[in-house]
Amino acid sequence: DVVMTQSPLSLPVTLGQPASISCRSSRSLVYIDGKTYLNWFQQRPGQSPRRLIYYVSNRDSGVPDRFSGSGSGTDFTLEISRVEAEDIGVYYCMQGTHWPLTFGGGTKVEIK
Amino acid sequence: EVQLVESGGGLVQPGGSLRLSCAASGFTFSNYWMTWVRQAPGKGLEWVASIKRDGSEQYYVDSMKGRFTISRDNARNSLYLQMNNLRAEDTAMYYCAKEEEAAAGLLDNWGQGTLVTVSS
């Protein structure tokens, strides 16, 4: 199985400051169709997960442009340019290239 | 607007069975792969199973293979998860998620979840 390793586990942030989450996969996530099935999800307290980013760097409709995704192969990053209070929650990366689909362990973003 | 509404969760004894349902609306259900994901209390997300548009292919996490069965009824716009021989470690919130037309692994919309508790 592809192991998705996120860091840090916890990310205390100051409102208005940037934040960055790393996600590393144990195998390349480039599929035979040339696409990289790497997603980022946000889960606010008490809510269902919501997809923010797909194919590494494509933002979903309605997602603020302060969120951006980057990376390739096995190393990926989610960045928040200026953290706002509504960004508090747990963020998960997930690979959809290889069966079984696997998630990272999550990064909890909280206010300092 | 895409809507996914799960139901069927509840309290069940170890060894028991439950059938979860997910009612879909706001999109052409038969055109999309669908997926179940679960989340144990206070824990992270775990993929459970996915099914192709026409139901001809199903994929499962190894630990649930043989106990869980994913299925769909495209005429009823519904997704199901039959869970047998339930264990305490199956206690979790179960979410259904819509996939893309051509493949799974993208989970672009999620339901609100249904809670399964396995306990005597």
Residues 7-26, chain B, touching A (beta carbon < 8 A): none
3-class DSSP assignment, residue A29: coil
What is the structure's pLDDT at B101? 80
Measured between beta carbons, the chain B residues lying within 8 angstroms of A101 are 35, 47, 50, 104-105
Assess A49–B contact: CB distance below 8 Å, yes or no: yes
Assess B50–A contact: CB distance below 8 Å, yes or no: yes
Average pLDDT, integer, range A83-103: 97
Which residues fall within 8 angstroms of residue A106, CB to CB, at 6 or more apart? A6, A9, A43, A90, A91, A92, B44, B45
Closest CA of chain A from B47, distance in Å = 6
Give residue B11's identity as a one-letter amino acid code: L
Assess B40–A contact: CB distance below 8 Å, yes or no: no
pLDDT in tens, A7-40: 999 999 999 999 999 999 999 999 999 999 999 9
DSSP string over B16-29: --EEEEEEEESS-G
Measured between beta carbons, the chain A residues lying within 8 angstroms of B47 are 94, 100-103
What is the structure's pLDDT at B33? 96
pLDDT in tens, B101-111: 888 889 999 99
DSSP string over chain B: --EEEEE--EEE-TT--EEEEEEEESS-GGGS-EEEEEE-TTS-EEEEEEE-TTSS-EEE-GGGBTTEEEEEETTTTEEEEEE-S--GGG-EEEEEEE--SS-SS---EE---EEEEE--
Give the residues of chain B that fall short of pLDDT 70. none
CB contact under 8 A, B44 and A49: no
Distance CA A57, CA A93 (A): 12
Measured between beta carbons, the chain B residues lying within 8 angstroms of A49 are 37, 45, 95, 107, 110
| Percentage of chain B exceeding pLDDT 90 | 92
| Percentage of chain A exceeding pLDDT 70 | 100
Assess A48–B contact: CB distance below 8 Å, yes or no: yes
